[in-house]
Copies of this chain bind each other. A is one copy, B any other.
Amino acid sequence: MEIEKRSMEIIAPYLKNLNLTDEETKVYSRMIHAAGDVDYASIIKISSKAIDATKKAIQNGKNIFTDVEMVRTGINKRTLSKFGGEVFCKVADEEVKKLAEREGITRSMAAMRSFGEELNGSIVAIGNAPTALFEVLRLVREEKILPAVIVGIPVGFVGAADSKKALADQNQIPFITVEGTKGGSPIAVAAINAIIYILNNSR
């Protein structure tokens, strides 16, 4: 707890010109801490309704759907479960493996596709695979699937920046993302856990 407080103090000067709300400050700080990289202050993008939408979804016991096991592992499931929600990841399922082979798509894409209508009203958390984020955006656009919020933070040099730009360029679903090549599972986890803790501390 003391480490967290000290960390927030160190990060604070990098946020002071961003005009953030208290809740945004908490989310930014936890994301920046998870990367150990203050340059995130200028590349984190949170749409205006994203934190409220995430809070409401958690409070209503909605589930969280992730692209990779590392994101599922990192989310504080014990605290989330106080609100009724659970966290699901299908990337290692046999059924998803077969779907990916049959359709010639990545397993991460197949995993998101197989969630299908379960994503309606839920929280999507992507920390690794650009293809998973592109697939969720396709589900929104073409199949009228409407998650409550998309935390989309894939990482790397092939597709990640483009997938996150596509997320930030749509205005149908509230989102939390990071511009460019940086990102990854702990950053997506940090955003979600920050909001879980905001809710838990105000119970």
The chain A residues found within 8 Å of chain B, CB to CB, are 3, 6-7, 10-11, 33-37, 69-70, 72-74, 155-160, 180-186, 189
Q: A70 to B181, alpha carbons, bound, how many Å?
A: 21
Asked if residues B73 and A36 are in contact (CB atoms below 8 Å), the reply is: no
Chain B residue at smallest Cβ distance from A128:
B186
Q: How many copies does the complex hold?
A: 2
Asked if residues B184 and A3 are in contact (CB atoms below 8 Å), the reply is: no
Asked if residues B186 and A7 are in contact (CB atoms below 8 Å), the reply is: no
Contact residue among B11, B73, B180 (Cβ-Cβ distance under 8 Å from A70): B73
Q: A180 to B186, alpha carbons, bound, how many Å?
A: 18
Chain A interface helix/strand/loop/mixed = helix
Asked whether A183 and B74 contact (CB < 8 A) given A7-B156, A10-B157, A10-B158, the answer is no
Q: A1 to B181, alpha carbons, bound, how many Å?
A: 19
21 residue pairs A–B, Cβ–Cβ below 8 Å:
A6-B158, A7-B157, A7-B158, A10-B158, A11-B157, A33-B156, A34-B156, A34-B184, A36-B155, A36-B156, A36-B181, A36-B183, A37-B37, A69-B73, A69-B74, A70-B70, A72-B73, A73-B73, A74-B185, A184-B186, A185-B186
Contacts of A156 on B, CB cut-off 8 Å?
A: 3, 7, 33-34, 36
Distance of A169 from chain B, by nearest CB (Å): 19
